[in-house]
């Protein structure tokens, strides 16, 4: 079991882009050009929300027509942005599947050299009156990790945050940073759920968590980065915002030395 192994110190400058996705994929690709000018120098990982290729649209409306393959125009534009800024970019999209009416809800991580990793959302949002599984296919139950800037990054999407076993498995496999692009639907107590769960996943796993969402009025915004003791390293409220935070592997190492709860598990 690889829960923690101290090594060389690495730092990673994150840019969490809290931005509304249009219903027009071309508009969202164009917005990436404007985003490029808002990024600070030395940004190592740019994180865009879930469904940034194209928003979900009205509840229950079909999505299949807006799905793209992993070598389609959306991923190509993300690669251009990554190459322009010499960075790595993570964003949510609808990916074509074997069922044309039920694509995958996928995260893609790219740099200037191409696609580094993809993660198909495991837990579909069949809750609070929604049935995401009517319009989307679930991914295989296989956690996805990738190294970015010397940190091991585990990928999660939105509703996955409510399932602590996925975060724990990513950490068991070596994750130092969990990244959670989201479109966290607004509603009673939903901001409180969001903030509490992000910090809980950080505390119980002594891991960094970077969670970015689309803003209101449909979604909750409140993107944040939590440290491995649950401390808030950076946070915004609502609206179109870019949150920049630098995270360090040594903070994870220190937290796991002070609180070796991962090593103390008995179940």
Is 68 an annotated catalytic residue? no
Among the options 68, 95, 132, 158, which is catalytic?
158
DSSP string, the chain: --S----S--EEEEEEEE-PPPS-HHHHHHHHHHHHTTPPTT--EEEPPTT-SS---STT---GGG-B-TTSHHHHHHHHHHHHHTSEEEEEEEE--SSTTS-EEEEEEEETTEEEEEEE-SS----TT--GGGT-BPPPS---EEEETTEEEEE--GGGGG-HHHHHHHHHTT-SEEEEEE--B--TTHHHHHHHHHHHHHHHHT-EEEEEE--TTTB----EEE-TTS-EEEE--SSSEEEEEEEEHHHHHHHHHH--TTTT---
Among the options 50, 68, 95, 132, which is catalytic?
50
pLDDT digits (tens, 9 = 90+) for 59-108: 889 999 999 999 999 999 999 999 999 999 999 999 999 999 999 999 99
Among the options 68, 121, 132, 220, which is catalytic?
121
Q: What is the pLDDT of residue 1?
A: 37
Enumerate residue ranges in the chain where pLDDT < 50. Answer: 1-6
Is 190 an annotated catalytic residue? no
Q: Domain 12-258 class?
A: alpha beta
Is 50 an annotated catalytic residue? yes
Q: What is the pLDDT of residue 59?
A: 85
């Amino acid at each position: 079991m690889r829960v923690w192994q101290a090594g060389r110190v690495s730092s990673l400058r994150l840019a969490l882009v809290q931005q509304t996705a249009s219903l027009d994929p071309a508009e969202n690709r164009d917005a990436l050009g404007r985003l490029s000018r808002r990024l600070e120098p030395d940004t190592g990982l740019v994180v865009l929300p879930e469904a940034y290729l194209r928003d979900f649209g009205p509840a229950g409306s079909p999505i299949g027509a807006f799905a793209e393959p992993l070598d389609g125009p959306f991923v190509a534009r993300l690669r251009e942005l990554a190459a322009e800024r010499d960075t790595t970019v993570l964003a949510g999209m609808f990916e074509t599947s074997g069922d044309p009416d039920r694509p995958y809800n996928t995260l893609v991580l790219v740099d200037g050299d191409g696609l580094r990793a993809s993660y198909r959302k495991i837990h579909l949002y069949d809750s609070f009156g929604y049935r995401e599984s009517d319009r989307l296919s679930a991914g295989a139950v296989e956690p996805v990790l990738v190294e970015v800037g010397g940190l091991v990054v585990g990928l999660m999407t939105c509703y996955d945050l409510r399932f602590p076993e996925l975060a724990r498995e990513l950490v068991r496999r070596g994750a130092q940073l969990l990244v959670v692009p989201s479109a966290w639907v607004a509603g009673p107590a939903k901001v409180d759920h969001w903030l509490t769960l992000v910090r809980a996943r950080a505390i119980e796993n002594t891991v960094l968590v970077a969670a970015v969402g689309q803003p209101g009025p449909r979604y909750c915004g409140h993107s944040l980065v939590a440290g491995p003791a649950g401390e808030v390293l950076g946070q915004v409220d609502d609206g179109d915002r870019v949150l920049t935070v630098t995270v360090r592997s040594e903070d994870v190492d220190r937290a796991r030395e002070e609180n070796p709860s991962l090593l103390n598990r008995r179940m």
